[in-house]
Amino acid sequence: RDTALSLNTLAVLYFRKGDYSKAEPLFIQALDIRRKALGDNHPDTANSIHSLALFYSKKGDYSKAESLLIQALDILRKALGDNHPDTASSINNLALLYYNKGDYAKAEPLYIQTLDIYRKIFGDNHRNTASSLNNLANLYSKKGEYDKAEPLHIQALDIYRKIFGDNHPNTASSLNNLAVLYDKKEDYSKAEPLFIQAIDIRRNILGNNHPDTVYSLNNFSLFYSSKADCEKAVKYRQEASDAREVELTRNLSLGSERQKQLYLQQYAYETDVALSLHVQSAPTNPLAKQLALTQILRRKGRSIDAVNQSIEALRNRSKPEDVALLDELAGKKALFSNLSIQGLGKLSLEDYKKQIKTLQDEIEKLEYKISESSAEFRTQSQPITLQAVQQAVPSDSTLVEFASYRPYDSKTRKYTESRYVVYLLNNEGKIDWVDLGEAEAIDELVVELRTKLRNSKSSVFKEIKPLSRKLAGKGKRLLIAPDGTLNLVPFAALVDENGKFLLENNSISYLTSGRDLLRLQIKIESKQPAVILADPDFGTITEASTPKEGETIFASLKFKRLAATEIEAKAIKTLFPNAELLLQKQASEEALTKLNAPSILHIATHGFFLQEKAAPLPPTPDEQRLATFEGADRSTLLNIKVENPLLRS
């Protein structure tokens, strides 16, 4: 039993970190041990089934989760009876599953049953009773039954105030939910003071940069958007963006690539909302324009950077004396992240605040020590700002930052069709922008553009003309950061209104995002001369080659040689006589992975893209405004399972 408990605890730790591939087998192993040791009908077996079910639910695999939750509930009812806290918690989580699926008809009677059990066991003035009232109120709010939801939210808030007082995270969550309800009812005079109270409590208890504080700031910004008060909407959205950036800078140095992507995906909607606030709601507001560009610079392609800038990657490039400090920093950051995600748990409010403050101080001291000797770490540990990127743009250059986003209508609380927007930034801080139109139409025209580059009458140029006009006189060098399908566009070959190629009047460099300019300021010493790899022999498989995960996707693909790339490589070699030239059989994956920080790496071969898998759209920002409660523990409703274009270059 102790082994099963340890496995389950470790599984929960991996799960909270987003490392699902490590968490799942541990959950299953713990369940198998308990089944063998205790039998199928033991409460501890039910708890393991329950843990695995919640894991699948969070992953969005509702069919697996549902059958497991029903199993667990059946065991607990037989073993403990209906009027037991564990049974009630199990009923609540089955209701939450149906709620997340949008199956409100199944969720409602289960929430009511949970509430009845908690009232019988604990009475009216208990935190579990309050959490049940909150969840049932959220359900009625989602159904638009505001008159049913309001008294339940008020009851929950009263209970939390009696138990915890005014200055407690649960009280803040309850204030938030009641405020969202009044916002939906357009009873703005009641909603506004509740939002302010929730923000003040969270700032006082959790700090300005805690995820729950950011959550409240986002909600307050949406509130002002729905009131068409764009000035205040921008103000609170900017505060939320700045606070989230501190969180991202701290947390993205930890975890695998997949963990980083999952972590960023849950906040992808924030970029859609920030861009919508500028382009759709406040196109003439300079602060809204700065916010939109700042958000793109902070989020677009961020997961790619995060892998390279992880503590593990930095360890491999650091001095031996810094490695121990980096390891200590990773441990402190992991503890801080877990404490932030878990909330108070069994800690008192004072102990929680003390632990948070202690970890923050220790992290800051370690970061200061490492920054003294590592310029790379010093740059990576600083939050990304518009001013920093602006100062990194050369005086003769213009940053051309594209973004694909889904406009969010704050009145209808729904997304509309994806669009492209582009922002232009120079060293003096002047920002121009162009709304390029619907992404679907532009994506279709990209194919036409690639085959009709010299035809200035091609329909695609109708989409580009506004941008061409903006680029006129913007300096001799363009730093272009495409997004989405626009990565396939050869911008150098675009023809302006005068029939001239863009390359005739400008030099062009490509970036993942303008954020790259910050990284390029760091000088990292090369460990070997330039390498040119070209014209690989696709028919050769070395003895050292071993199958890799996902390799079956490519098993049936055949590529022909690109003979012209050998000519290209030899021509480049004349410019760099000391460069190592790898051609045909020498241009292997094995040779590529053995390279160690060459001064220049030039690769010339095929480009191959897998077709994107269709994925459901994430919930709207409005669907992420309510705090729900699993069992007796609070969690936020975030069920995002989509790859946002801003996570790719």
- pLDDT tens by residue, 89-120: 999 999 999 998 889 999 999 999 999 999 99
Average pLDDT over residues 521-544: 74
Average pLDDT over residues 343-353: 75
Alpha helices in 454-594 (DSSP H): 460-471, 502-505, 516-519, 563-575, 589-593
pLDDT reported for residue 545: 44
Lowest mean pLDDT among 218-227, 273-282, 343-352: 343-352
Closest to 146 (Cα-Cα) out of 159, 155, 137, 154: 137
Average pLDDT over residues 120-130: 95
Lowest mean pLDDT among 136-140, 578-582, 588-592: 588-592
Beta bridge partner(s), residue 531: 580, 601
pLDDT band at 635 (very low <50, low <70, confident <90, very high): very low
Q: Which of 286-295, 407-416, 422-431, 561-570 has the highest mean pLDDT?
A: 286-295
pLDDT reported for residue 594: 86
Three-state DSSP class for 548?
coil
- % helix, strand, coil for the chain, step of 5: 60, 10, 30
Average pLDDT over residues 165-192: 94
Average pLDDT over residues 589-608: 84
Average pLDDT over residues 215-223: 95
Average pLDDT over residues 277-283: 96
- Amino acid 466 reads P
pLDDT band at 446 (very low <50, low <70, confident <90, very high): confident
pLDDT reported for residue 350: 79
pLDDT band at 548 (very low <50, low <70, confident <90, very high): very low
Residue 531 has pLDDT above 90, yes or no: yes
Residue 257 has pLDDT above 90, yes or no: no
Average pLDDT over residues 466-485: 77
The sign of the dihedral angle between the CA atoms of 256, 260, 266, 269 is negative
Alpha helices in 409-453 (DSSP H): 439-451
Average pLDDT over residues 160-175: 94
| Number of neighbours of residue 350 by Cβ within 10 angstroms | 8
Write down how long the chain is: 649
Contact 436, 422 (CB under 8 A): yes
pLDDT band at 339 (very low <50, low <70, confident <90, very high): confident
Contact 396, 432 (CB under 8 A): no
pLDDT reported for residue 352: 78
pLDDT band at 636 (very low <50, low <70, confident <90, very high): very low
- Amino acid 139 reads L
Task: State the DSSP code for 599.
Answer: S
Beta bridge partner(s), residue 630: 633
pLDDT band at 428 (very low <50, low <70, confident <90, very high): very high
Average pLDDT over residues 606-627: 60
Closest to 381 (Cα-Cα) out of 363, 394, 397, 396: 363
Task: State the DSSP code for 611.
Answer: P
- Amino acid 607 reads G
Which tokens hold the place of 216? Answer: 């409240």
Strand order through the sheet with 601-604 = 580-584, 531-536, 601-604
Strands 414-415 and 419-426: unpaired
For residues 518 and 528, give the distance between their C-alpha atoms in angstroms, rounded to a whole number.
Answer: 24
Alpha helices in 60-210 (DSSP H): 62-80, 85-101, 104-122, 127-142, 146-164, 169-184, 188-206
Integer-rounded Cα Rg, in Å, for the chain is 27
Residue written as token pair 């009131």: 227
Average pLDDT over residues 317-334: 70
State pLDDT tens for residues 71-89: 999 999 999 999 999 999 9
pLDDT reported for residue 638: 30
Distances (CA, A) of 463 to 457, 481, 485: 11, 18, 14
Strands 419-426 and 397-405: antiparallel
Contact 284, 276 (CB under 8 A): no
Higher pLDDT, 186 or 613: 186
Q: What percent of the chain has pLDDT over 70?
A: 77
pLDDT band at 505 (very low <50, low <70, confident <90, very high): confident
For residues 421 and 470, give the distance between their C-alpha atoms in angstroms, rounded to a whole number.
Answer: 13
Residue 170 has pLDDT above 50, yes or no: yes
pLDDT band at 365 (very low <50, low <70, confident <90, very high): confident
Alpha helices in 499-586 (DSSP H): 502-505, 516-519, 563-575
Residue 618 has pLDDT above 60, yes or no: no
| 245 phi, psi to nearest 5 deg | -65, -35
Average pLDDT over residues 173-186: 94
pLDDT reported for residue 8: 84
Residues 6+ apart with CB under 8 A from 367: 329, 377, 381
For residues 190 and 176, give the distance between their C-alpha atoms in angstroms, rounded to a whole number.
Answer: 12
For residues 101 and 140, give the distance between their C-alpha atoms in angstroms, rounded to a whole number.
Answer: 15
Three-state DSSP class for 300?
coil
- Amino acid 208 reads N
Average pLDDT over residues 38-49: 92
pLDDT reported for residue 640: 29
Residue 328 has pLDDT above 80, yes or no: no
